[in-house]
Amino acid sequence: MSEMERLERLAERLRAVDPVMPSPGAKIRGWNLVLAAVEQSATARKRTHPVRRLVLAAVAAAVLLVAGAVAASADSLPDSALYPLKGVVENVRGALAFSPSDKLAYHLDLARTRLTEAEAMIARHRLDLAGQALSGMNDQLNEAALVVQSEQQSDPALAASLENRLVQAIATHDQQLAGLQGQVTNPTAVAAITQARDRAAQALQTSSGKPSASPGNGKGPSNSPHPTPKH
Amino acid sequence: MQPLGKAASDDDRPLIERVRRGDQDAARILFERYFDRIYNYVYARLGRAEDAEDLAIDTMTRSLTRLDLFQDQGVAFSSWVYRIAHNATIDHYRRQGKATVVPLESATMPVSADPSELAVEQLSNEDLHEALRALTDEQQQVLILRFFQDLTAAQAAQIMGKSVGAVQALQHRALGSLERALHGRTTN
């Protein structure tokens, strides 16, 4: 008998082996266990899905809320509930300004913003907040002046360019403040504006490293240093 | 045990979708369709009814609760179930610390053995089962799938992840090894 024939006979014998089947009891036990697992699995799926949806919805709502609040805070005024958020956003912007030019632009932009806020607060008769805004404007101009000053030694050409931008900004602010000063009658407001103009002039001297001039007498635009941009 | 034709694999798809949606009746149909086969497959590998029962239940539980892992991309559900059963069997061997079986091709066999004298018709089922368990893992698998489970070479190839030609060659070697193992048992 050839090998093929022998193996074919063996294969036929294997096919004839009676299949070993589970007992009925084993099958019932098996189904009960499988059913319990299937039910548990389905329950877990149902339980997980609503939770996931809820979490996703909450995250999306939080993102929208934060993004909306940040956007709305950009134009908020000192008497607004969103105003503190505006400060946070401004600080983040400041942290991202690395070059002297960017830093100067950042501080000048904030000075302009504070001045706008001061005008709005004066219009609403919130002189306390107007004073704070003007003080903030002067702080930003001082910071800008320090940026210019820090470049005087290392890069005089750059410092001159930066100083020119600072002078232009202060001149613009001074004009705006002078106009404002002519419109208000409240002595507190007048004093605050006068002080702001004097401090702005001091900032200009700080940028060039010159000693600070004595504060103005607060009598009006004619008493301010009247900075003139260099061209 | 009904032959597992291609039609059964096709019929599985709607049932699988229903089970995924939590339909217990569909799960019951799939359980009925495969439990006996898997029990038979595992029993042929292990030879112990208790272990076969546990592993068959474990296989069906995994199959019907982890359908998210089953992707119907060319592999039939039946093949996936057999693979789970095969892996469960291997895990069982590992847990039991069973030594790796030496392939019979490389085992020492009686030199004077004359396979033609083997009277296969007189062999008991138990002799066949025990001789089968002495074969290598793949040899056992191919003989069980082809002759105990009555699957085609193509179905066995899909379960084992081999080509049909490789399965046929493996089957030929497995039958030769089984013949020698049986002859060794009858002469000892």
Distance CA B185, CA B182 (A): 5
pLDDT class of A200 with cuts at 50, 70, 90: confident
**H helix runs in B21-152, sequence order:** 24-46, 49-65, 77-96, 125-132, 137-143
pLDDT at A95 over 70: yes
Q: Is B160 on the interface with A (CB under 8 A)?
A: no
Nearest CA to B4 out of B81, B74, B114, B63 is that of B81
Count Cβ atoms below 10 Å from residue A97 Cβ, excluding itself. 16
Distance CA B103, CA B119 (A): 24
* pLDDT for the residue A189: 84
Chain A residues closer than 8 Å to B141 by CB: none
Tell which of B60, B62, B126 to mutate to test the A interface (max A CBs under 10 Å): B60
ipTM over 0.85: no
| Averaged pLDDT of chain A | 83
Question: Which pLDDT tens digit goes with each residue over B57-99?
Answer: 999 999 999 888 887 667 889 999 999 999 999 999 888 875 4
Question: Which pLDDT tens digit goes with each residue over B141-169?
Answer: 999 999 999 999 999 999 999 999 999 99
pLDDT at B100 over 50: no
**Rounded percentage of chain B residues whose pLDDT exceeds 90:** 60
Of B56, B115, B116, the CB nearest to A22: B56
**Rounded percentage of chain A residues whose pLDDT exceeds 90:** 20
* A-B contacts at Cβ under 8 angstroms: 102
pLDDT at A99 over 50: yes
pLDDT class of A72 with cuts at 50, 70, 90: confident
CB A206 within 8 A of CB A142: yes
Question: Are the Cβ atoms of B116 and A41 closer than 8 angstroms?
Answer: no
User: Pick the residue with more confidence: B184 or B139?
Assistant: B139
* pLDDT for the residue B27: 94
* pLDDT for the residue A220: 41
Q: Which of A196-200, A207-211, A225-229 has the lowest mean pLDDT?
A: A225-229
- What does residue A98 show for φ and ψ, rounded to 5 degrees? -105, -45
* pLDDT for the residue B107: 41
Distances (CA, A) of A125 to A120, A130, A172, B43, B82: 9, 8, 24, 92, 83
Tell which of B125, B133, B140, B145 to mutate to test the A interface (max A CBs under 10 Å): B125
Distance CA B67, CA B60 (A): 11
pLDDT at A208 over 90: no
DSSP helix/strand/coil, A65: helix
Of B40, B57, B175, the CB nearest to A11: B175
* pLDDT for the residue B35: 96
pLDDT at A207 over 90: no
Rounded mean pLDDT of A43-55?
71
* pLDDT for the residue B102: 41
CB A118 within 8 A of CB A99: no
* pLDDT for the residue B4: 60
Count Cβ atoms below 10 Å from residue A7 Cβ, excluding itself. 18
User: Pick the residue with more confidence: B69 or B138?
Assistant: B138
* pLDDT for the residue A205: 80
* pLDDT for the residue A82: 87
Distance CA A82, CA A69 (A): 7
pLDDT at A31 over 70: yes
pLDDT class of A225 with cuts at 50, 70, 90: very low
Q: What are the tokens at A93?
A: 């912007």
pLDDT at A15 over 80: yes
Question: Which pLDDT tens digit goes with each residue over B12-37?
Answer: 889 999 998 889 999 999 999 999 99
